[in-house]
Structure formats: structure tokens, C-alpha cells
A and B are shown apart, each in its own frame.
Chain A
């Protein structure tokens, strides 16, 4: 059982509540950049700290120097940023040398540390600092000397020492130095990758310790090089080794850098390597799950259109099918989020789509490799699994109502035990409800059936819908919620079956949508009526235009439609009429 995901829920809540939370901050910064920069002076303690560090590191030839450099790369970048900002405010190099007397030594030593130079971001900061110190028109000896020194540094960075074999082989290689070094890098990566893979072939060995030392050093070097495109085979091999080896022999900085680079798309790895990373490092897995959630929440326009593709692209469903613990971790994270952020349709849609994609991958596995479903849903009453985990597309349409009645009776029996307000009973209800959220396609099916259902069949369907939207009997409002659900359904039937749509029912629906406790339930029902009812398109569009007017309602509607769409995508047969309704509705909602 996971200790608890460190999800920054407050931040997430912020994104969820108001998509525009960022704007005021941004405009503040753009209005007064100078003032902020001046406030960040370079402190004397920092200078002493970093000067000691760079002297200690030297040219990073020893393993410990390399390790220490890679550990400090992130904070070094911040310091370099401060130094750069300080230098940018200087009006001349002389002034810069007087204000920052350490800067020559500091930058010079860093230029000789390949671990720092190889890191793209540090390299750029370093070069920008150097370019600040260069004077196009030097006015005195200090500035002329600085220019010469900078030119020397640049020479050193782009060429080899004369008389060395390196220099000679590069000089006559018949290629530009850039191409030569690119090919050299590619070759050394492939040699080292082979080396790692060879040592993988000896694993897992129970007797001898695997050659951890070298793997650790290699991963330390790679920490600085994570975003170099030629590096991905070596990174993949190191991660594969970590999977097979079992002991943690990779540098933590390396893991962190790879994880961040993957999330920010600055690195592309093979799928297998990514999954190996997640197996190796639970925090990387958490990062990936949270990143998926954040990306879904932050861009509702694209996400509601292609949620299943986006979820599949994240590799999480496939990884979950192959590794039970990954599924359990991701489910737990999303379950925690759901308990904090109440009534959030986007999160529910994500959970639903993630589960569907996961189940699809699971059925794609070979039967002998497959774990029993119980393993993936350990906390839930086992009898709930068969009906809920069977998709509606696998059940004939005529049997849907009976299937839903079955589900409802199972859920009711779980709830009956809740009567004593016992914590364990509450947990059981919550787990059952979460499974229903994961298998939300059945709730959507219930809503679809309600569009055409006869009144005598409506009760179990309405019950399911109410339970889905209001699992707890908070404030003992259950009877009121049930009544509202029935009321909404009645109004909607009248609205969509009578022509012309009676204004009385129209305003009743609008009222329920804006003020009631069950706004989401009403919206859910409403949208199903729009998509699945049989009336003429023009009338339906008219109803939509009158009801779906507020921006917040439209946004929530898009999320509900996203779940409907994902369910229809995997349906046994395709109904073009329904699809085109869905399409039209989505387009209208996205327009404003």
C-alpha cells in the first residue's frame, strides 16, 4: 500500500477552480522586471560556497567530483542565472569586474568542467555570461585582457589542445568538428550501451554482485546529458539494467533528470525504457500520473476531443496492464485526488477513460501472462468485479437493463452495511463507488437508457445515477437527491418528447441546472437526451442553445461528452446519427 502520493493538491485545486489563475502573476512580472532583478543580488555566502565547489571539482576527473557536480547542477544553474542577471545590469566590463571580482575565476573554472558544459542549459548560461563580459569597444587594459581571456575560453571550448592525438585526428577527419564529435558521441554511446547490455545478460545473478560500480558512474555522467538526443540508447540500457538487477545502482540525480525531461518532453525514450523507469522509481511513476492529470485539466479544449488517445500516449495504460503495481499506484493517486476535489467531472472522465484503456490492453495480453482481475482491484467486494468490468460493448443491448439492475442490487447490498456508520463499512461503500467511477461506462449506459425508458423501468437507472453523483449520504440528503433526479428526468422527457418544447419544462430544467444540489446529474441526463433522443435536429439545437448558456456549464458539458464519446468509440456498432449529434454539440460548445 502506498504511503500517499505527494500530489500538490492545492495547486491542482487552483487549476481546477480557475483556469485563469496564472494571468495576474504573469502580467505583474512583465510590468516590473527590473525591480525584481535588482532584488536578487548575488550574496557573499553564495559566492564563497560556489567558488569552493568549482575549485574542488576541478576538471571533474574523479568519480566523487563528477558525482558532486551532477548533484549540484540544478542549484548551479540558479546561481548562474543570478550571476547573469547581475552582469546584465552592468554598464561596462570594468564595472562588472569590480562588482563581481570572483566572476573570472568562477566562469573560467566552470569552462573546464565537462559535466557542467555538457549540460545544455548551464552551457547557455555560461556563454551568455561570457558574452556579457565581452566588450565590443574596450576602453582600458582590464577590458582588453578580459576580451583576450574570453577568446581563449571560447577557443578551448570548441577545439582540442594542439599536438594531442585528439587534435590531429579531428583536424584530418575530413568532417567539420561538429560532425566529427556528433559521430564520436554516437559511437561511444553505442559501445557503452553494448557494455551495459552485456552485463544485463549476466543478470539476475544470485551469487556475484553485479558490476554496480561502473553502472553507477555511468548514470552519474548521464545525469548531465539527459537531453542530448544521441543519449537515449544508453539511458534505455541503464534503465533496463536497473530492472533486471534489483538493487538500486543508478544515481538519484540521473533518475530525477530523466523523469523531468520525459515529462517536459525534452527527452524521448523507447516505451520499454519508460516503463522500466517507473518500475525502478515510484516517485517517477507518481510524477507521470500527476503530469497526465495536470495536462488533462489544463487544456479542456483539446483533451475533451481526444482523451483516449492522450491517455494511451502517456503509456500508463499499457504499463498498468503489464505491471499490477503500476495500476494500483495510479489508481490510488487518482482516487486520492477525487476525494479532495469534489464533484470534478474532468477527473472522473480521466479515471473512466484510463480504466477503459487499461482493460483494453489487458485483454490484449496472452492468457497465460494474465493476472486475475482480483489482483488489480483488491479492495473491492469481489462479486462486483464481473458485472462492472464487462464493458457494455460486450453485452447485447437488450440485456443492458438487466445487467444494470444486477449492478444496482450488488451496490445496494454494499450500502445496506453502511447503516452502522462503521468506518469499515464506509470504506466498502467508497471502494464500490470508486469502482463505479472507474467503470463509468455503465453509468453512461444507464443515462442513455433513461432517454427512452418507460417509467416503470426508470427506478434502478435513476438510482445508479444518483449514487454515482452522490455516493455519500451527507446531510441525509439522499431522499431529496433521488427526488430531484426523478423530477429532472420527468421534465427532460417532456421537453424532448413534446413538440414544440414546452417553455415550462425548459425553465424547470434550467432552474435545476443552475441551482440544485444535483446540477451535474441533471447536466449528465440532459446531454444524454440531446445525443440519444429521436427528435429533429433543429429542435434539439434550439433547446441546447437555450439551456447551455454559461461558460462553466459548457466546460462541464464537454467533459461529460468526452466520456460518452469514448464509450461510443469502443461500441460494437457505430450509429452515425448519434456520432454526428455528438460532433455538432461539441463544436457548438467549443465555439465561444
Chain B
């Protein structure tokens, strides 16, 4: 174990150095060695990804080393455990993007396709082919036929669902699964809407509808992130939210919760005779009713459950039948229930 931790530290140092100008001293031998270490590191990841005890030891070693390296080389980025699966790829990217990398190193990493063996460690052809094939096919299937989601989101969501499923299938990995989702959220900060699509697909992903481990986990995580669930529901179309509600009781409950929260942000403007938003939440009365309309159009049992819920909410708020006092009354009136 000591040895493993030492090796891990070495690899992190290698990765850090590859981002600095010290890399200019690397020769062919050093480069190949570095990739060998990176490959070893990938094996570490695959062996211990789902083993909470060993993994947490590795994670704390990572954390210590990251801190130390940040102080010494501020430009290098910290490495998470989950990234270790792609150590060689990371190293390759560092060498490609680091202007100080020696010129002689690149041809080693991209050998002439004619002479190189097909399965050589540095053969990028199948990666490039699969990646562009995937891109190409996603583009051609632009008809949104998967509950309104684009096929790329569906695939990424399914893969995410599979990942979470395998991680959560062993006990003690909840924290790690949370870290994964946190990292993904952080790293896609540029385009959260696309991420929400992927999360929606992950919620829909288990082929076996009785397996609710992954949706449960994702929902719990969403609710921990401030305002995330609300943003997700806003970003996803009413139709999609309805489909997910049909499949997952938990999501249905959470979705209703979000709708209630949106409703609480609306106030009746007596002069205009309309319900208007009071806060920054860009929710209007129409948006709210559209959401409920979609739920009601979905058919049994969701239709009946939603009707019941609305009637309950109206009753609990005073059971008014006149417009302008209770939003639920107005919603019910609007939807002609």
C-alpha cells in the first residue's frame, strides 16, 4: 500500500511537470516511462474505483499531493480520483498543449499510421473514429424522438446512469458518487442546460424500471444543490418532466414541490387582474398552468393524481372559489377542472 501511494504521488508529479516548462528536458525515454506510469495509474483506478476503503486512502493521498503541488507550481491543475482513469490521455493533452514540450516527443506519440501497429499504445485512430462516428450519427438523428431529448443527451445520460449504478452497487460509495456529480456539474458550468438534459436522460435511464437506485440518488443530489432542481425543471420541457414523473414517483413528488415553490412566487396584481412574478424566478402564471396541463394530459394514473393534488392544495388554502385569492383556485379554473 505504501508503494502504491508513492507511485500515485509520482504520477501526479509527472502530470504536474508535464504542464510546466520543465518538460523541455524530457527525452524519448522519459516520455515513454511517463506513459508507462500513467497506464499503471489507470489500472489503479479501475481496480479500486468501487472499493471505498482503498479509494479513500488514495483520495487523501491525492488531496495532499495536489495541495503540495499547487504551492510549488501554481499553474498546474489538481487531479481528482475519477480523472485517473484517463491518465494517459491527460498526459497526452498536457504535452500537446504545453509550448515547452520538446518537438521530438510528438512524433513518438503519433506514430505514422502506415508503420505503427494497430493496437499500439499510441494508436488514436479508433478513438478518433468512434468519436466522430458518434458525433456524426447524433447529428443525423436530430428528430427529438426520445421523450423530447436529443439522442446525444440520451446516450450520455445512459452512460452516466450506468456509471452511477456500478458505483452505487457497492456500499460505501455514496460520497464518491456525489463527488462525481459535483465534478461534472462544475466542469460543465458553461452550458448547464445541456447538462440538465443529460441528467434527465440519466433519470430515465434504468432499463429496468424497478431499479430506482440511480434516480433516487440523482434526485437527492439535485435537492442538495441550491436551486438546482428548480433550474433543471425549468430547463426541461413540460412534456419531458411529465414523462419522468410517470416513470419515477420520487421525481413526481419533487416536481410538484418545485411547482408549488414557483406558485408561491406569484402574487395577484389586483389592477391588472393577473398573477405576476414577485422574485427573480422567471415563472409566470401561464408557465405554471402549462406545466400542470401537460401533467393532466398524460393519462392515468398521473392525471388523476395531479387532479387530486390540485384539489387538495385548493382546499388546504381555504377552498376559495373566487379568482384572485388563491393561486390554486385560479389554476384549477384556468385548466377547467
Contact = CB atoms under 8 A, between A and B. Distances in A.
Contacts of B114: 124, 128
B138 A188 contact: yes
B45 to A, nearest CB: 7
Chain A interface extent, by class: 35 or more
Given A191-B155, A218-B141, 12 more contacts: A123-B125, A165-B194, A166-B152, A167-B188, A176-B88, A177-B86, A178-B130, A180-B159, A214-B141, A217-B140, A225-B136, A228-B133
A136 B107 contact: yes
B163 interface: yes
- The DSSP consensus for interface residues of chain A is helix
Interface in A35-89: 60-61, 66
A178 B49 CA distance: 18
Give the 9 A-B residue pairs with the shortest CB-CB distance, closest first: A163-B190, A168-B187, A168-B188, A181-B130, A118-B132, A117-B132, A165-B194, A114-B132, A221-B140
B286 to A, nearest CB: 29
B187 A195 contact: no
A233 interface: no
Contacts of B195: 165, 168
Contact of B184 (A120, A172, A178): A172
Contacts of A118: 129, 132-133, 135-136
A164 B194 contact: yes
A500 interface: no
A184 interface: yes
B191 A173 contact: no
Contacts of A152: 96
A248 interface: no
Contact of B125 (A124, A182, A218): A124
B134 A165 contact: no
B89 A159 contact: yes
Given A138-B103, A176-B42, A221-B137, A154 B110 contact: yes
A154 B132 CA distance: 13
B93 A155 contact: yes
Interface string A227-257: 0101100000000000000000000000000
A131 B107 contact: yes
A168 B197 CA distance: 14
Nearest to B114: A128
A177 B127 contact: yes
Contacts of A138: 103
21 contacts: A114-B132, A128-B112, A131-B112, A137-B103, A154-B110, A165-B198, A167-B188, A168-B183, A168-B195, A172-B180, A174-B46, A174-B85, A174-B167, A175-B85, A176-B88, A178-B126, A187-B158, A214-B140, A214-B141, A218-B140, A221-B139
Interface of B: 42, 45-46, 49, 80, 82-83, 85-86, 88-89, 92-93, 96-97, 99, 103-104, 106-107, 110, 112-114, 124-141, 143, 145-146, 151-152, 154-156, 158-160, 163, 167, 180, 183-191, 194-195, 197-198
Given A134-B106, A187-B158, A195 B145 contact: yes
Contacts of A135: 103
A115 interface: yes
Task: Determine which residue in B128, B152, B159 has the highest number of CB atoms from chain A within 10 A of its CB, and name it.
Answer: B128
A164 B66 CA distance: 24
A355 interface: no
Contact of B136 (A147, A167, A224): A224
Contacts of B45: 174
A185 interface: yes
Contacts of A188: 134, 137-138, 141, 151-152, 155
A380 interface: no
A154 B96 contact: yes
A152 B97 CA distance: 7
Contacts of A177: 86, 89, 127, 131
A391 to B, nearest CB: 47
A171 B89 CA distance: 10
A142 interface: no
Nearest to A217: B140
A191 B110 contact: no
A136 B151 contact: no
A60 B99 CA distance: 31
Nearest to A211: B143
A195 B152 CA distance: 14
Contact of B124 (A120, A158, A195): A158
A468 B145 CA distance: 62
A165 B85 contact: no
Contacts of A158: 89, 92-93, 124, 127-128, 131
Interface of A: 60-61, 66, 114-115, 117-118, 120, 123-124, 127-128, 131, 134-138, 147-148, 150-152, 154-155, 157-159, 163-169, 171-178, 180-185, 187-189, 191-192, 195, 214, 217-218, 220-221, 224-225, 228, 230-231
Contact of B83 (A136, A171, A181, A230): A171
- The DSSP consensus for interface residues of chain B is helix
A495 B42 CA distance: 77
B131 to A, nearest CB: 5
A134 B42 CA distance: 30
Contact of A172 (B107, B139, B187): B187
Given A159-B89, A163-B189, A172-B183, A181 B131 contact: yes
A131 B140 contact: no
B104 A137 contact: yes
Contacts of B189: 163
Contacts of B80: 172
Contact of A191 (B124, B125, B151): B151
A135 B107 CA distance: 9
Given A172-B82, A173-B85, A164 B130 contact: no
B134 A184 contact: yes
Task: Determine which residue in B114, B131, B189 has the highest number of CB atoms from chain A within 10 A of its CB, and name it.
Answer: B131
A393 to B, nearest CB: 47
Contacts of B167: 174
Contacts of A191: 141, 146, 151, 154-155
A350 to B, nearest CB: 35
B106 to A, nearest CB: 6
Nearest to A120: B129
Nearest to B167: A174
A160 to B, nearest CB: 8
Contact of A66 (B130, B133, B140, B183): B140
Contacts of A117: 128-129, 132
Nearest to B99: A148
A185 B107 contact: no
B147 to A, nearest CB: 12
Given A137-B103, A185-B130, A164 B82 contact: no
Contacts of B198: 165, 169
Contacts of A195: 141, 145
Contacts of B188: 163-165, 167-169
Contacts of A124: 113-114, 125
A196 to B, nearest CB: 10
A140 to B, nearest CB: 13
A231 B129 CA distance: 12
A557 B93 CA distance: 63
B46 to A, nearest CB: 8
A228 B82 CA distance: 29
A189 B114 CA distance: 29
Contact of B187 (A163, A225, A231): A163
A128 B97 contact: no
B85 A176 contact: yes
B271 to A, nearest CB: 44
A169 B156 contact: yes
B136 A115 contact: yes
B159 to A, nearest CB: 6
Nearest to A147: B103
B129 A228 contact: yes
Contacts of B151: 188, 191-192
Contacts of A114: 132-133, 135-136, 139
